[in-house]
Amino acid sequence: MVSFQPTEEQQLIRDTVAAFAREQIRPLAHEADEQGAVPSAVIQQGWELGLVQSAIPEAHGGAGDTRSAITGALVAEELAWGDLSIALHLLAPRLVVYPVLQLGTAEQQARILPTYAGATFRAGAAAVMEPRLDFDLAALGARARRDNGAYVLSGTKCCVPLGSQAEHLLVYARTDERDGYDAVSGFLVEQGAAGLRVIEREKNMGLKALETSEIALEDCRVPAANRLGGEAGGVAAGGFATLMNYARVGLGAMAVGVARAAFEYARDYAKERHAFGVAIGRKQAIAFMLAEMATEIDATRLLVWEAAWKLDRGAEATREAYLAKNYAANMVLKVTDNAVQILGGHGYIREHPVEMWLRNGRGFATFEGIATV
């Protein structure tokens, strides 16, 4: 039987993160979007909640808590409710820590994990997406060629969060010409490595506060020891599909958070805004729209939770994770657009956050691998 009630510990974590999002993140979201930068102080405050370090084993400086996709989904939703850019910035190190924790060799864990177990935020990220019209996770354009005890990486990646700041980038590339997830491996590349070049910070429609970069791999040479999982190829042996399932759950949960923020703002506005002597929320057209928004948000959350539940049980969750992410991408666009519609002319001006949520929500249809749980 599936339980829809978080455990006492999960509820405590959820409440703590929700309070942080409400009191610290949301008041900064508009200015961060306008300035195109996330304040470092709020990231450090969020880091002190231990949302990344908690899963790192005690032997490597962390708290040694058991990683849970459901708990991660609860956290991701609340942070994205506060602001998507800040949430992605704060949780970006998970994109390195969790795959190393899940698939890395003992040597990789001992070398990488302590970096992210300390009291100060350290940037890390993954390079998954590529600037191609035919981009396909199962047919990546980036290549990794074996050469005298090392791998030589070539290709271009885009939408890399904190690309110029990350101390480690987990770069995904094909190790042979076959298509399919089994042909993909991950490679740990340190910032400043020869052949790794940050082309530019991207100028996106949304996520304006988050630095996302396009990077070039110009015969970037990395030691064979930096292949995630070692020469056994932990990613190639079915691990990449699992990592992407965790990423889809994370993105689905964040889409729920963004949509919930837009719905609540539009609902409250509809209660206060009067036209022809009555609150517009009492008009049938607006009331039905709000009811449909609430239904879609709750339905998507359940899809996300189902996929997370299966991941926590170690069950095959590709179908559930893909459906959750795909449904979430459609849902968040619809809900945020409806929120703009409910506010009317006010929805189009920047003093109200619904236009920002619409811009951010539009990206979920294209996002892959930039968040995880």
Burial 269-285 (b: 16+ CB within 10 A, else e): bbeeeeeeeeebbeeee
Dihedral angle at the C-alpha atoms of 248, 250, 252, 254, nearest 10 degrees?
-150
Which entry of 167, 218, 264, 368 is annotated as an active-site residue? 368
Q: Whose CA is closest to 136, among 371, 370, 366, 372?
A: 366
Contacts of 267 (CB under 8 A, 6+ apart): 281, 290
Phi, psi of 180 (to 5 degrees): 120, 155
Helix ranges (H only) for 61-128 are 69-82, 84-91, 94-103, 106-112
Nearest to 186 by CA among 174, 194, 195: 174
- Taking phi over 0 as left and psi of -120 to 50 as alpha, with beta for the rest, 233 belongs to left
Spatial CB neighbours of 63, under 8 Å, sequence gap ≥ 6 = 50, 53, 54, 55, 56
Nearest Cα residue to 353 out of 32, 20, 18: 32
* Cβ within 8 Å of residue 15, ≥6 positions away: none
Give residues with Cβ within 8 angstroms of 180, minimum separation 6.
Answer: 138
| Coil, helix or strand at residue 352 | coil
Distance CA 46, CA 20 (A): 8
Neighbouring residues of 320: CB distance < 8 A, sequence distance ≥ 6: 303, 306, 307, 310
- Residue 368 catalytic? yes
Active site residues: 368
